[in-house]
Each structure stands twice: as structure tokens, then as C-alpha cells.
Structure 1
Amino acid sequence: MAVDVFGKAILDYHSGETTGEIHTFSSLEEQDSFPVSHLFRSYDSMPHLEKKALDLCRGRVLDIGCGAGSHSLYLQSRGFDVTSIDISPGAVQACKARGLSNVFESDFWQYKGETFDTLLLLMNGIGIAGQLSKLPHFFQKARQLLKPGGQLIFDSSDIIYMYEQDEDGGFWVPEDIPYYGELTYEIQYKSYKSAPFAWIFVDFNTLEDFAEKEGFGCNLVRKGDHFDYLAKLTVEV
């Protein structure tokens, strides 16, 4: 049975254990960590790209991979009709305890039955596509969940900077990987560690190419401070 690492961390924090950290390990041999409190941040403490994403939401919103529910709670407080989904049972339990009205344990790929004006995927939520070759399937599923003229809002990063750079300014990318943004991750909280899973970061030009082929208008809303960006994609009617 898969270990609900995020769920355990989120429930611990919600129960008052506020000093925990989540550790990440990537196939680029990069190790990083962030405090669980980051998942509970208020609107005022969110990065400017996230604030802008929330300000762009309209109509019925589906928050995909809602985590501890911070984005959904903000939207709910502003009067939005927001539905939140996450594959983590613990995260969903915490979101309900925090006061979210419509939160469900569900996988993006399996969710159906409703349509929305806005799909929201923050903290590189498009990473759930896993591989570049699966982006068309991602956009097709997103279209099924969107009303005519609906929008898809998410942030991502161009991680080419993580590769070694040569004297001419180019980057050394291994020839045996299909796309440099495809990574394998593991996450750990305390003694709980996940199985490896595929995750993708998509540079904006590549995103635009795939989105337009699948019938989405693609707009670069804003660039962040470190190779990250916010995008808004609109279903072309």
C-alpha cells in the first residue's frame, strides 16, 4: 500500500506539530526540503505568482492537488464555488477539518461528472502529467472538465538551469532522456518515504506548442524570480 507522506505531514501540522519538514529527492541527484508550514500559508504570505493565479480565477473552480487547502480556502472565503481534489486521504481529512465545503479524495485522471470555468493547478501542478508524451492526454482530460471558454491556470518552471553549462552558454543534457524537464521524485517526512514517481517541469515555449496543438490559447501571464512562470490557457471555442 502506498504511503500517504503528504497526508501524514499535513495532519501532524494541523494537530499542532508545526516544526516538521518534507524532504524531496530527484533523479538529478538534487535534495531539498521545505517546512510543512509552507502548505498552510495565508494569501498574504504566498508568492506573487500564486496570488496572481488566485486573482485570475473565475466562475466554478476545481483546485487540483489541493494539498492542505490553502488556495481553496482563500477562494471559498471570497465567495467562489470551489471544488477541491487530492489523492491524499490525509490531506482531504485535514481540508475538511479546516472548513472546506467541497473536497474529495480523487485522482485528476479519474475525476468526472462536472465541468468548471477554472482549473487551478499550483505548485507546478502540471507535473502530474509526468512525461512530455503525456501532455496531450493531460490537455484532453482538462478539456473534458472545462466549460466552453474555460481556463486552465498553473505555474511551472524551466529547469534547464539545473544542468551543467558549458563555456558557450549551452547546457549539457543527457542524450538518454526524452526531455530535460522529466524527473523522478521521492518524498520523505519523518520515517515515511514515498515510492518513486514521475514528475515534469515544462518550459513555456514547449508548453505553448503542446497547448496550441490541443486547441488551447496559451498566455504567459507573468515570470517569476527564478525561471518560474504563471500561465493561463483558454479553451478555444
Structure 2
Amino acid sequence: MKDLFGKAILDYQTNNNPDDIITETSISEEDEMSVAYLFRDYKQMPKIEKKALSLTKGRVLDVGCGAGSHALYLQNVKKLDVTAIDISANAVAACKLRGLNDVRAIDVLELNNEKFDTIILLMNGTGIFGKLKNCTLYLEKLKSLLNPGGQILIDSSDIIYMFDEDEDGGKWIPTDTEYYGELTFTITYKGEQEDTFDWLYIDYNTLQNAAHAHGLNCELVTEGEHFDYLAKLTLQ
């Protein structure tokens, strides 16, 4: 990986001529995203993120922290003990410059011998699973990082709305993927293109079934304005 997403974050933090990030998926055209959005404060966050932060307590793990906006709110405003992780070394460098006390460049699958009361995965937190078959791997890992009574707060979207309907109201779903929420993502930044990567959007019922299969309770906390939702997973 060229870490272009992280490079955009670090460029913005260091005023190094940041540019928009261009994203494209296997089912959508190119779209531009302002890097400034990743640096939003609490007031600018959508209601799902605000709800997740309001429920966060105890020792916290922020998985895929990006520019660190959620972790900074939890650390500085709620005064919680926060560990933030991201696979992007550039994003981690930016988070350190922003004042996060404990931020590490590490994949959550490689995090061992630590326990947390709340684990948050926001901005389509299921994305890092990549494919539906990887739910087992990630849910078991997240479960192993929970203290007794702990919780996982994770958001995603049901993207069935993005597919065309036939005359009977059925959806035209591509047959080249195991599940319609499995996408491939491409990021372009300052004319350079990142290697394509897998990204998973998962509908709530499918997440709930996966959670139950791995000894986790799953509760629908709130729904957003565009087929998105926040779920809370707890140990059974």
C-alpha cells in the first residue's frame, strides 16, 4: 500500500498543500472527498457518530482511527483512556501531531494481550473486514479484546438501495461476489493511485446473525438518514 489516504491526512495536518481524495468503487463512479471532513469536530459529526461517542466508556480502543477526530473527543472532552490504531503510518503521525496520547500503527488483528471496555469502529467500521467470510476472523479478534461487560460499537450501511430494481421490485445483484455489500475501493490522491482494496458494507440482519454465531449479542442502537446504522455488540 502507498498509504495515500494517510498521506492526505498528514498533508492536511502539516499544511502541505492538501488536495481532495478521489474515491471510486466497483459499483459507483469517482467521487471527491475533502480531507477536511476527516478533521471535523463533534458538532460536525453525523448523529450515528455522536451516539457512539456518547455510549463510549472505560478504556477505549478506536480501530481505524484515521485523522483521530473521534479519539481526540474521547480523550480531551470525555477524559477517557483511549488507544487509537490505524494501519496507516501517515495517519498515525498526524494523530500524534494532533495530540493523541496513545496512537499506534498496527492492524487490529495483530493487537494482543490488551483488554478494553469499549471498542469503536466508525465511518463504516465493517469496511476493514473486506469480505463477508472475514467476519469470523474479525469478530473473534474483537471479542478477545473485550473486558467482561465490554462493548463493541460499530457502524455500517445496507447498500441494497444502490442496485437497480426490475419490474417486480427485485434487485439486480451482481453474481461475481458472495454478498452484495462486498466492494472494491480505489483511492487516488495528487494523481497517484492506491492499490485496489476490498471493503465491506453489511446490512444489520447479516451482522446480527454473524454476531450471534460468535457468541455476541447484537443490538440496533440507532439508524441514520441514509440506510446506515449503529450496532452494539456485547458478550453473551
Same fold per TM (> 0.5)? yes
Residue number in structure 1 paired with 2:6 = 7
Amino acid at match of 1:151: Q
User: 5+ unaligned residues in a row in structure 2: which ranges?
Assistant: none
Q: Moved runs in structure 1, 4+ residues, more than 4 A?
A: none
Amino acid at match of 1:9: A
Residue number in structure 2 paired with 1:41 = 40
Residue number in structure 1 paired with 2:151 = 151
Q: Whole-Å Cα distance in 2 between the matches of residues 210 and 116 of structure 1?
A: 21
Q: Whole-Å Cα distance in 2 between the matches of residues 110 and 144 of structure 1?
A: 12
Contact 2:62/2:83 (<8 A) preserved:
yes
Q: Whole-Å Cα distance in 2 between the matches of residues 44 and 174 of structure 1?
A: 38
Residue number in structure 2 paired with 1:185 = 185
CA offset digits 1:32-72 (Å, max 9, x no partner)? 22100011000011001100000010110000010110000
The 5-angstrom pairing of residues 69-80 of structure 1 reads: 69-77=68-76, 78-80=78-80
Secondary structure at 1:128's aligned position in 2? helix
Q: Does 2:58 match 1:59? A: yes
Q: Whole-Å Cα distance in 2 between the matches of residues 148 and 188 of structure 1?
A: 42
Secondary structure at 2:198's aligned position in 1? strand
Tell me how far 1:83 sits from its aligned partner: 0.2
The 5-angstrom pairing of residues 98-113 of structure 1 reads: 98-113=98-113
Secondary structure at 1:30's aligned position in 2? strand
Q: Whole-Å Cα distance in 2 between the matches of residues 37 and 18 of structure 1?
A: 12
Secondary structure at 1:153's aligned position in 2? strand
Q: Whole-Å Cα distance in 2 between the matches of residues 168 and 152 of structure 1?
A: 38
Tell me how far 1:19 sits from its aligned partner: 5.7
Q: Does 2:112 match 1:84? A: no
Residues 30, 192 of structure 1: alpha-carbon distance in 2 compared, 3 angstrom cutoff: same
Tell me how far 1:187 sits from its aligned partner: 0.8
Identity of counterpart residues, as a percentage? 54
Contact 2:11/2:18 (<8 A) preserved:
no
Amino acid at match of 2:198: A
User: 5+ unaligned residues in a row in structure 1: which ranges?
Assistant: none
Query: What is the aligned residue count?
Result: 235
- Structure 1 length-normalised TM: 0.96
